[in-house]
Structure 1
Amino acid sequence: MNFNFLSPVSDSVLAHNELLSEQVLGKKIKIHSTQNGIPDLDGVKLAIIGVKENRNDVNYMGEELNFDTIRTSLYSLFPGNWHTTIADLGDIPAGSTIEDTYYALRTLISVLIENKVVPIILGGSQDLTYANYRAYDTMSPMVNIVNVDSNFDLGDASIEMKNNSFLGKIILEQPYNLFNYSVVGYQTYFNSQEEIDLMDKLYFESYRLGEVTHSIKLVEPVMRDAHIVTMDLKSVRAAEVGAKQKFSPNGFNGKEVCAIARYAGISNKVSSFGIYEFKTTYELDATPMLISQMIWYFIEGFNCRVKDDDFSNTNNHQKYNVLIENDELIFYKSLKTGRWWIEIPFLPNVNNKLKKHTLLPCTHEDYLEASCGKMPERWYKAYKKNSF
C-alpha cells in the first residue's frame, strides 16, 4: 500500500544520530528518511509513528507538533538484548481536516496490524485513540481498550468530539466493537460523579491512582486483556516532566509509567500502543526523555512476550475449581509463567459478544480471595457484560 502521506524523520535528527555510538537504538532501527524513503516492513515487528494532530485538544491555540526531541532522546538510548526489528516510519502530518488525519492513521494502523506489526503512536491529542480504535473495525468484533489517564474521557457524545470526550463516540457509534474499557490511574476530582456512575453502570473498569501506585502489579492482568493501550501524559505528575507539560501535582512518577508501559509490552494481546498529549518542546528536557524511556520499556516488554495462554494441553497449566455460593469459578495457572486466568462461562440464551468460554486474566490474589468466598470484581463485570 502507498503511504506517501508519511513525512520522513527530519535531517537534523538523523544528523545527530550519526554522531552517536554504533550501539545506540538509533543505529539499530530502520528509519524513514528523505534519502532512503519509507523502509521495507519485511521482518519488522514494531513501528513508530508520529501523528501531528492536536486540533481537537480543548486547549488548542494553534501550536504545531514536532517530535524531533523525542526521537533524538529515543535514538540515543541503548537497546536491551532484543530480537525484534523496529522501524520509524516518520510522521503523519495534520490533514486538511481532522477527519483526513483520522483516516490516514486508521488506514496505516490497519495495514500494520494485518502485517503483524505493532504500531507505537506518538500524539498529538488523545482523540486519536478513536481513529486507532476504528482501525479494528474489519479485524475484530470485540476490542478492549486500556486508558492510562487521570480522566475517563467519556464526555458528551452529542457534541463534537474532543480529546477529553472520545470515549463517548466510541461507545455510541456503529459498529459497536468495544467490549471493555479500563482506566488506570484516574483521579476522582477530575471526574464528575455522573461519569463515575456511568463507568459502573457499563461494567467498565476503573482503578484509582492511589490504588495503582500502592500495587503496580494490579496493571498486569488488565494489560494482558487489552488490544489498544492509550497513555495520556496528563496522568504523570508535574514534577516528572518539563515546563510545558505540567498538569497536576499528583500523578504517576517516571518509574511507574515505565512499569505500566512494560506491562503493556509484555501482553500478547496488545497490538497498538499510543502516548498522547505531548506539548512540543525544542529543548531536550525531561518530557522527551520520559516518553523515550516509556517507549524503551514497551519494547523491552514486547521482547519478553511468552505464549502461555494455550490451555488445550493440560500439561501447560493447573486447573482450580472454587465454589462461591451457587457459582463454580474455574481458575487456570500457567506452569510456564505462573500467570493466572479465570473462566467466564458462555450464556447460551443470550445474544452476546462472547461465543465460547472466555479466559479472563486475573491475579493469584483473585484466586485466594475467591477461596475465601469473595467474588473477583473483574470476573463479575466481565460476566455482566457477557449477559447483555
Structure 2
Amino acid sequence: MNLSIFFEPLPEDPFGYPEHPKSVGSYIAPFVHSFPDWRSAEIVLIGLPEYRGAAHPTELTYQGPNKIREQLYRLMKGTGTWLVMDLGNLLPGIHLEDTYLRLKEVIEILVDAGKFPILLGGSHDLTYGQFLGYEHLSKTVNLVVVDSQLDMATEERATPELSHLHRILLHEPTYLFGFSHVGHQAYLTEASTLAALEKLHFELFRVGQVHQQIKELEPVMRQADLVSFDVAAIRHQDAPGQQHANPFGLTGEEACQLCWYAGQNNQLSSLGFYGYRPELDYRHLTATTLATMVWYSIEGYHQRLPTMDFQSNQFLRFSVGFHDNPNKMLFYKSRHAEKWWMQVEDLSGQRPPMVVPCSYQDYLTAADGEVPNRWILMQARL
C-alpha cells in the first residue's frame, strides 16, 4: 500500500536544513518534498496532530508533533546506524473514529514490515488507534501505559482522552494478554478502579514506587509489545506543556530511563508519546523533554540483544528449589547484560511454560524461599 496518501509533508524550514552535520536532523530522512522509502528504515517517526479526543480542542495550535521534532532534530546523533525516517504528520480523518482506524492501518503495515514506529501525539486517546493496529496479529499482546492517572472514566460526558483505557480493556475480540500501568498517583485515581484491575492480575506501579525502585520497572518495559506514554506522568517542573500539569510526578530523568528500557526491548514494536500541548509550553521545555525521551528510545533500540535462545551459552541458568515443593523455579541471566528471565509453568498443563522478563530481586526472593509476585501474576493470567 502507498502510505504517502495518509500523510502531509513537513515544512522545508526548519526540517529541510539540518543545523549541524552530526545532529539527529542530519541522519533522519524527513517527508519534506518526496515521501521517504520507509521500507529501508529501522525506525519511523509519525506525527499525530489530532486533539479532538481532548477537552477544549479548539484552543490548540496542532503544532505539537512539529515542536517536538524541532528539539529532536537539534540533538546530537547517538550510537548505532540511525536508519530513521520521518513520515510527516498523519492526516486526521473526517471524524475522530476515522483517525483511529487510519492509525490502526498504518501501525498494522509498519509492524508487519518489522519497522518500529514512534508516535508523536496528539491526545492520549490515540493509544486506542495504536492498540487497534495489533488486532490482526495471531497472538496476544502486552500493553504498558505510563500516566499520572488511569483513563477509565465511564461517564457519558467523559472525553475520549479520559476513557480510552476502558475501551481498550473491553475491546472485542480480546487480544490483550498483559497490562501494566506505571506512574499513577493515588489521589488522582479511584480505589475501586485499582481494585478492579488488580483482580484481573494486572501490574500497577505508583509514582512513589518508580522513584524508589526504578530498576524494578525494567522487566515491565521489557515485556511490552506497545507502550503509551502520557506526558501528564511527568511533573510540571520538567514538562509544563500539558493540560493536567501537576507539581508531582516522574522527573525528566526517570522518564528518559523508562524510554531507554523500552527501546532495548526486542519485543516492543511501537511507542507513543501523547498529551503535549505546545501553547502551554514555557520556553519549549516540554518539547525538549519529549525529544530527549525519543532520543533515549532510539538509543535503546540500538542496544537490543540478538535473538534469544535460552538453551544457548548466551545465558546462565539457575534452578531454585523450595523445601515444601518438589518443583523447581528456573531463572536465566544474560551473559552480556544485567537482564534476568524466569520460567513460568501453566499449572493446568494446557500451555507450554513461558519464559518472561524478571529482575534480580525476583531471583533473590525465590532463593529466600518465597514465590515472586511477578511469577504469581503471570501464572494467574495463563
Bin the TM-score by the shorter chain: over 0.9
Contact 1:343 1:360 in 2 (8 A): yes
Other-structure match for 1:224: 222
Stretches of structure 1 lacking an aligned partner (at least 5 in a row): none
Give the aligned residue type for 2:366. A
Q: Deviations over 1:179-203 (max 9, x none)?
A: 1110111111110011010111010
Q: Distance in 1 between matches of 2:54 and 2:375?
A: 35
Question: Equivalent residues in 2 for 1:189-338 (5 A)?
Answer: 189-242=187-240, 247-281=245-279, 285-307=284-306, 309-313=308-312, 316-323=315-322, 325-326=324-325, 328-338=328-338
> How many residues were matched structurally?
378
Task: Give the Å deviation of 1:62.
Answer: 4.7
> Which moves more between the two structures, 148-157 or 374-383?
148-157
Q: Distance in 2 between matches of 1:23 and 1:266?
A: 23
Q: Distance in 2 between matches of 1:114 and 1:315?
A: 28
Give the aligned residue type for 2:237. A
Q: Deviations over 1:63-122 (max 9, x none)?
A: 241122211111111111222300000001221101111111111111111111100001
Q: Distance in 2 between matches of 1:347 and 1:94?
A: 47
Q: Distance in 2 between matches of 1:362 and 1:225?
A: 9
For the residue of structure 1 that corresponds to 2:81, the secondary structure is coil
Q: Distance in 2 between matches of 1:310 and 1:59?
A: 50
Q: Distance in 2 between matches of 1:161 and 1:280?
A: 20
Q: Distance in 1 between matches of 2:199 and 2:21?
A: 54
Q: CA RMSD in A?
A: 2.1
For the residue of structure 2 that corresponds to 1:207, the secondary structure is strand
Change (3 A) 1:22 1:176: same
Q: Does 1:145 align with 2:143?
A: yes
Question: Equivalent residues in 2 for 1:149-168 (5 A)?
Answer: 149-156=147-154, 162-168=160-166
Contact 2:148 2:232 in 1 (8 A): yes
Other-structure match for 1:383: 379
Q: Deviations over 1:6-65 (max 9, x none)?
A: 0111223225x34x11111111111101x2x21002320100001111111145445241
Give the aligned residue type for 1:9. L
Give the aligned residue type for 1:344. V
Other-structure match for 2:6: 5
Q: Does 1:184 align with 2:185?
A: no
Q: Distance in 2 between matches of 1:356 and 1:192?
A: 37
For the residue of structure 1 that corresponds to 2:162, the secondary structure is coil
For the residue of structure 2 that corresponds to 1:189, the secondary structure is helix
Other-structure match for 1:40: 37
Other-structure match for 1:339: 339
Q: Deviations over 1:282-324 (max 9, x none)?
A: 8751011111100000001001111263113256332323326
Task: Give the Å deviation of 1:127.
Answer: 1.1
Q: Distance in 2 between matches of 1:175 and 1:356?
A: 23
Query: TM-score by structure 2 length?
Result: 0.93
Give the aligned residue type for 1:41. W
Give the aligned residue type for 1:337. A
Contact 2:314 2:334 in 1 (8 A): no
Q: Distance in 2 between matches of 1:208 and 1:62?
A: 32
Contact 2:47 2:66 in 1 (8 A): no
Task: Give the Å deviation of 1:176.
Answer: 0.4
Q: Distance in 2 between matches of 1:244 and 1:334?
A: 39
Contact 1:153 1:163 in 2 (8 A): yes
For the residue of structure 2 that corresponds to 1:163, the secondary structure is helix
> Which moves more between the two structures, 338-347 or 175-184?
338-347
Task: Give the Å deviation of 1:219.
Answer: 1.4
Query: TM-score by structure 1 length?
Result: 0.92
Give the aligned residue type for 2:318. K
Contact 1:54 1:125 in 2 (8 A): yes
For the residue of structure 2 that corresponds to 1:238, the secondary structure is coil
Q: Which runs of 4+ in 1 moved over 6 A?
A: 157-161
Q: Distance in 1 between matches of 2:243 and 2:95?
A: 26
Identity of aligned residues (%): 32
Change (3 A) 1:204 1:244: closer
Other-structure match for 1:101: 99
Q: Does 1:368 align with 2:364?
A: yes
Change (3 A) 1:155 1:324: farther
